[in-house]
Structure 1
Amino acid sequence: MKKISVLFLCTGNTCRSQMADGYLRGRYGDRFESHSSGSAPDLRKFSETNGVHPYALEMLKRYGIATEGLHSKLWTPYIKGEIPIDIVLTLCGSGRDELEEACPIFPGRAVKAHWGVDDPSHVKGTAEEIDRAFEDAFRIIRRRIDALAALPVETMSREELQREVLHIAAMA
């Protein structure tokens, strides 16, 4: 059976989309083909970890998710249709981040939803406060992905799937 391809999309592809990509791939890779990219990644940022925020990698490792192969990348192959995608989920900010971050808009007929999660990399404070911000963001991402994986996506119509991914977006 064909795997459902999911693209997690942010602006920078350093934190939220990487955590989502790693989690979906690690927990549900038997049913889903997971991808992540950004509309404007700064590939020099976090160069020692291939553009991925070290705290994002730490969250994945903390939950037993492999991080090999994760790296920040531009969305060009996806918007050109070179890599077919069934579901596009934008993870750009919800609320305070909206003023600082323009969430990319994906063209085409893929099922789309905005699963906004505040950017934990914007949090300033103690190591514990930063860790809590990443933990909170990852908790939201995990809950939403678990809800997506609980759906019979392989047998759902496009309209049913669209309705459900929009419903999942409201989960905190």
Structure 2
Amino acid sequence: MSGKPSVLFVCVHNAGRSQMAAGWLRHLAGDRVEVRSAGSAPGDRVNPAAVAAMAEVGIDIAGQTPTKLAGETAESSDVIVTMGCGDACPVFPGKRYEDWKIEDPAGKGVDAVRPIRDEIRARIENLLTELLPTGP
């Protein structure tokens, strides 16, 4: 990586886990990291329980829109974090990949999404210590 690192979060619907991860990274890293998220089969909207859980910690992801994963987005990202998209996630040589096994918040209420939100935050904090030597 040279300059500002870019991170792409990918899950199937780009409506829950990847949106929460992108929200956390934007919140914790500010403009020091380029943040992207996409899905292999994007949903119609961001999961309302994910929006509510993130709002509880002061992060607004309500205005985000699920986006279809494009090959050029993945190619231009330094780190690709997959979250349950399996074989639908493309693989590009020379990219750093992480596969985060995180429960899917789809169909769950905000009480069930809070622990998922908190797990994602911990993973984002760990990722930031690797990406930014000065830390979050």
Tell whether the structures are fold-level matches, with TM greater than 0.5: yes
Give, in angstroms, the shift of residue 102 of structure 1. 4.3
Q: TM-score, normalised by structure 1?
A: 0.68
Query: Which fold has the larger relative contact order, with Cα–Cα distance below 8 Å and residues 6 or more apart in sequence?
Result: 2
Give, in angstroms, the shift of residue 67 of structure 1. 2.5
Corresponding residue for residue 120 of structure 2: 141
Residues 75-110 of structure 1, C-alpha deviations (whole Å, 9 max, x = no match): 02xx13587100000112xxxxxxxx6453222121
Greater Rg, structure 1 or structure 2? 1
Q: Equivalent pairs: percent with the same residue?
A: 31
Contact 1:89 1:112 in 2 (8 A): yes
Aligned ranges for residues 97-112 of structure 1 at < 5 Å?
A: 102=86, 104-108=88-92, 109-112=94-97
Q: Distance in 2 between matches of 1:10 and 1:143?
A: 18
Q: Which of residues 98, 101, 116 in structure 2 aligns to 1:116?
A: 101
Give unpaired runs (5+ residues) of structure 1.
44-50, 93-100, 124-129, 156-172
Q: Distance in 2 between matches of 1:81 and 1:23?
A: 20
Which amino acid is 2:26 matched to? R
Q: Distance in 1 between matches of 2:75 and 2:83?
A: 20
The alignment of Structure 1 onto Structure 2 pairs a total of residues equal to 131
Following TM superposition, the consecutive aligned residue runs of length 4 or more in structure 1 with deviations greater than 6 angstroms are none
Contact 2:52 2:110 in 1 (8 A): no
Residues 140-161 of structure 1, C-alpha deviations (whole Å, 9 max, x = no match): 100000111122x257xxxxxx
Give, in angstroms, the shift of residue 59 of structure 1. 1.6
Q: Distance in 2 between matches of 1:68 and 1:88?
A: 23
Contact 2:40 2:68 in 1 (8 A): yes
Q: Distance in 2 between matches of 1:82 and 1:148?
A: 18
Corresponding residue for residue 58 of structure 1: 52
Structure 1 residues 68, 53: CA separation in 2 closer, same or farther (over 3 Å shift)? closer
Aligned ranges for residues 1-172 of structure 1 at < 5 Å?
A: 2-43=3-44, 51-67=45-61, 69-76=63-70, 79-81=71-73, 84-92=76-84, 102=86, 104-108=88-92, 109-123=94-108, 130-151=109-130, 153=131
Structure 1 residues 59, 107: CA separation in 2 closer, same or farther (over 3 Å shift)? same
Contact 1:13 1:72 in 2 (8 A): yes
Q: Distance in 1 between matches of 2:119 and 2:15?
A: 17
